[in-house]
Copies of this chain bind each other. A is one copy, B any other.
């Protein structure tokens, strides 16, 4: 009989063998092997993290900060490998979100039914 932990490990292995993961790992390795691309991406991530932290602290972003982040984002997206990496990350994030929703379906049913509709 399998338990939830065993099954989660199976899913983890299947995810690791998936096209989505392998494309992501390949692009990740490509960016890391290219010092200029790596620096560009790290710079973008740093800006992104700084702004997210401000927002999480309930601070408003200035017009200038939003525009700066936007233009750095457009710049990094134009880099062929980084652009593809970001698309692959987007797909992975979507996939992980889907998996989490599927797994939590029993809870969804339980709480959906009980809330008096």
Contact = CB atoms under 8 A, between A and B. Distances in A.
A92 B4 CA distance: 11
A92 B32 CA distance: 38
User: What copy number does this chain have within its complex?
Assistant: 2
A25 interface: yes
Chain A interface, >50% SS class: helix
A25 B109 CA distance: 10
6 contacts: A4-B18, A4-B20, A7-B14, A8-B102, A28-B111, A96-B103
Interface of A: 2-5, 7-12, 14-16, 18, 20-21, 24-25, 28-29, 32, 57-59, 92, 95-96, 98-100, 102-107, 110-111, 114
